[in-house]
Amino acid sequence: MSALEARLTADGCRVWWEDWGGVPVLLGRRADFRLKWMATKLHLFTVAAAVPEITVPTIATFTDQVLAYAKKNKGGLPVGLQTGVGTFPTLVSDRVDPAAVHWAEAQQRAKFACMARPVVVDSARQYVGTYRGKPFIGRAYASYFTEKGLRYFHGQ
């Protein structure tokens, strides 16, 4: 987690820790505006926690929690009005169900003007599972998500 915290800080994110139901959670936040995104501002939240085990229900529930948190805490204009939310809900464990990795890699999760690229980190295998494609919904942001994902989770 300290490596992720350092990478987020180096990328200009505001970084802090919160307690989510007794679990320490690392949060990183930044906002970027691009004309090529149809003149929108994207608020990017990276939220990471170490957990005893990662299963599909664990990462799916965490993803929903992170999307709700980001939407509630982004500030400014309501989502969809020249503003959107992007998230990297990230869970780290040395006990990871392969189905959870597949779930994270399968697709970007999207709701109206809110996108999530769940990240499953298997610390025992030193493997990071996340979606790396170009989705139909949110396609304009795909290269941004890919670049940030590589920077934050692969140290590139």
CB 118 within 8 A of CB 59: yes
pLDDT digits (tens, 9 = 90+) for 90-117: 999 999 999 999 999 999 888 777 899 9
115 DSSP β-pair partners: 86, 110
- What are the structure tokens assigned to 143, written together? 């290269």
Tell how many helices (H) and how many strands (E) occur in the chain. Answer: 4, 8
- What are the structure tokens assigned to 3, written together? 């490596």
* E strand or H helix at 62: helix 56-73
CA 111, distance to chain mean position in Å, is: 14
Residue 4 has pLDDT above 70, yes or no: yes
CA distance 113 to 38: 13
Note the pTM of the prediction, 2 decimals: 0.92
pLDDT digits (tens, 9 = 90+) for 16-72: 999 999 999 999 999 997 766 667 788 999 999 999 999 999 999 999 999 999 988
Give the domain ranges of the chain: 2-153
